[in-house]
Amino acid sequence: MSRYAYVNGRYLPFRDAKIHIEDRGYQFADGVYEVCEVRAGRLIDERRHFERLKRSLTETRIRMPMSPRALGVVLREVVARNRIGYGVVYLQISRGVARRDPAFPGPEVAPTVVATARPLNMMRNEALAARGIAVISVPDNRWGRVDIKTVGLLPNVLARQAAIDQGARDAWFVDKDGIVTEAASANAWIVAPDGILVTRHADRAILRGITRAVVLDAVKAQGLTVAERGFTLQEAYGAREAFETSATQIVMPVVRIDGHTIGDGKPGPVAIALRREFHRYAETG
């Protein structure tokens, strides 16, 4: 089946979907992005993803290229043209194409807008979640504004590859005080020995995940106790359960951290329940 991408106002066959070499996304990672889960062809939590997108654009001073409503139409069209039932849709907005100069280009330069979608394999994801994943820890060497969802992801790329090279699936970033910030492309959680759920407070040192926000709603509605605070790697090693959250994985149990078995080495009941219940709390567009 042919794939289509949206590029600056046009829906193009994938092979024709191209960006200029002087695009600032390519030259400087001068762009932001969003990723939404798609279920039964519908966007999950579109409203919250667009709120975060608006914030990313404001913080980077990139112009909103069109209204959220129009962007929503584009995303849905890309999902439909690619016949995505279950998958993800990506939206990237860069500061546009201009002669290479770090200073902003003039107002005549329009942002570049790209949207793509791809299917995910539900069976494979469920099988992975049923086993749980192994993660490694890596020093958090990112810049001080990772609350902005920029396309500048080189530390995340290197962290993920380091995990794979060591036979793990993902990496958790640890700051200079030994506190786990987040995963390479997900938020990190533990269930402490006293049963309290812990995830790092959201400031400029983590991305405020939309999945994280929905899981917080779910745990509060279910009367579970949650603490938004930093936790150390040592606490994580001794946790009852660990998991990570993102739009592409929803709730993914973590069963090994740096070779330490978490709990009994199997996905824990809290993570399993949150994964099962998640879409009752998410918004379906």
Q: Is 87 in the site for ligand PDD (CB under 6 A)?
A: no
Q: Judged by CB under 6 A, which of 246, 254, 262, 281 binds ligand PDD?
A: 246
179's tokens: 């506190």
Range in contact with ligand PDD (rule: CB under 6 A) among 105-113, 133-141, 241-249, 271-279: 241-249
Range in contact with ligand PDD (rule: CB under 6 A) among 21-29, 126-134, 202-210, 231-239: 202-210
The neighbouring-strand residues paired with 33 are: 92
Q: Is 25 in the site for ligand PDD (CB under 6 A)?
A: no
281's tokens: 């709390």
Q: Is 211 in the site for ligand PDD (CB under 6 A)?
A: yes
Cα distance between residue 46 and residue 41, in whole Å: 13
Residue 83 near residue 18 (C-beta atoms within 8 A): no
Write the CA distances from 106 to 7, 204, 285, integer angstroms. 21, 29, 36
Would you say 97 or 173 has its CB closer to ligand PDD? 173
Would you say 87 or 98 has its CB closer to ligand PDD? 87
Q: Judged by CB under 6 A, which of 185, 231, 239, 253 binds ligand PDD?
A: 185
Active site residue 220: no
Write the CA distances from 34 to 114, 210, 226, integer angstroms. 11, 10, 27
∠ Cα 249 251 254 (to 5°): 95
Catalog residues that contact ligand PDD under the rule CB under 6 A. Answer: 35, 156, 182, 185-187, 207, 209-212, 245-248
